[in-house]
Homo-oligomer: A and B are copies of this chain.
Amino acid sequence: MIKPQTLKGFRDFLPQEARKRQYVIDILKKVFESYGFEPLETPALEYEEILLGKYGEEGDKLMYRFVDRGGRKVALRYDQTVPLARVVAQYQNELPMPFKRYQIQNVWRADNTQKGRFREFLQCDADIVGTDSPLADAETIMITAKSLEKLGFKNFKILINDRNIFSQLVKQDICEEKEIPVVIRAVDKLKKNGKEAVIKELFSKGLTQKRATTTLQCVVVMQETERLKEIFLLLQQYGLKNDKDFVFSPTLARGLDYYTGIIFEVEIEGYTAGSVCGGGRYDKLIGMFSKQDIPAVGFSFGFDRLIEAMDELNLFPTNILSSTTKVLVTVFNKNLLEKSISCSTSLRSAGVQTEIYLDENAKMEKQLKYADKKGIPYAIIIGPNEASKNMVTIRNMKTREQKKVSEEKIILTVNSS
């Protein structure tokens, strides 16, 4: 017999996990839509040439690629930004500009699996394409904050920087232009690995020990750019507080090469596994399939980390954790089945999520056990006694308390709990 198993790095989501995911997705969508972002879906498979060479050497290596039966070289979606760039080029006359879209789909990366890293995972992106206004930068950050607030996070901080800050190093003759990417990549690891490690990496990349040290010292004390000042003012007008909700962070560098302006990450108090959200401005990327540069700014929620952080901080409402069913109508016997059907139908018509136990021959004990296993709060029993009086017995599955009530009273009892 074939062993039932999933591939390494791939996951099943059983009902409880699937409900938690849906809960988060629904909230994010609602926030995104309240700011006028619109949904976009792109295919799982793309022509390989669309994706290849866009994510650096590492990306090409981790991409799931194969040749289809028609001989086409194809690849599975690796992120949602390159497909967005393709869409913007392909439908430019149909799309409103600025184009504000969100996209919540799986991506696939054949990465080494480890805690919190999977080969199939959900990305939640929102991006604004076609404007280089600081207002777009501020709105992007605002949406991040609003999303976390709606998910129930109370204490989080948005770290903000501007990639252009690093050009100060060139102006002050500390680094050469071509060293900036090296500096960014090294500084990106400051929080994780510490100062020593950053200096060591800069040294290994050809900076003298002295220049490596000076570079890092300089980065740490650098001042906000004019652009950042403008964005911070807008954020305050949006209602965010400087130093409390957001903070200037000159050592924030972000790993991705393609950022050209503002960059930001979100840290959640009490959750130490890393940032749950990151984003920034990238004005040279979206135009890759068009003839001209198209400015863009956006962010991506790390969905698995978000779920993990919410789990750790107990932010899921308890009703998400068990079945959405409110009432199980049991079946006493085949003769009384009709009574149970009619009761379940009225409850459902009244908007109560209701199950009828789907085996008219099962013992009552088994039926109640089913309610327990699914976490259904109430069970209804309609035996001959109840049926003759046009009543039902309602059982609170937690307290095991039972009482006889009329059918109309069920809804009151269920809704009052």
* A residues in contact (CB < 8 Å) with B: 1-8, 10-15, 18-19, 21-22, 33-36, 38-47, 49-50, 64, 66-70, 72, 74, 76, 86-87, 89-91, 94-98, 100-101, 106, 108, 110, 120, 128, 131, 133, 135-136, 139, 234, 237-239, 288-289, 291, 323-325, 328, 331, 337-338, 341-342, 345, 348, 353-356, 358-361, 370, 373-374, 376
Contact = CB atoms under 8 A, between A and B. Distances in A.
Nearest to A370: B96
A239 B36 contact: no
Contacts of A325: 33, 36
A15 B101 contact: yes
A22 B385 CA distance: 46
B110 A7 contact: no
Given A43-B120, A289-B2, A356 B135 contact: yes
Contacts of A370: 96-98
Contacts of A70: 8, 110
B43 A6 contact: yes
Tallying the copies of this chain within the complex gives 2
A43 B70 CA distance: 24
Can you list the 9 inter-chain pairs with the closest CB atoms, starting with the nearest?
A36-B355, A15-B38, A66-B66, A10-B43, A18-B39, A13-B41, A4-B89, A4-B90, A36-B325
B39 A91 contact: no
B44 A15 contact: no
Contacts of A91: 12, 14
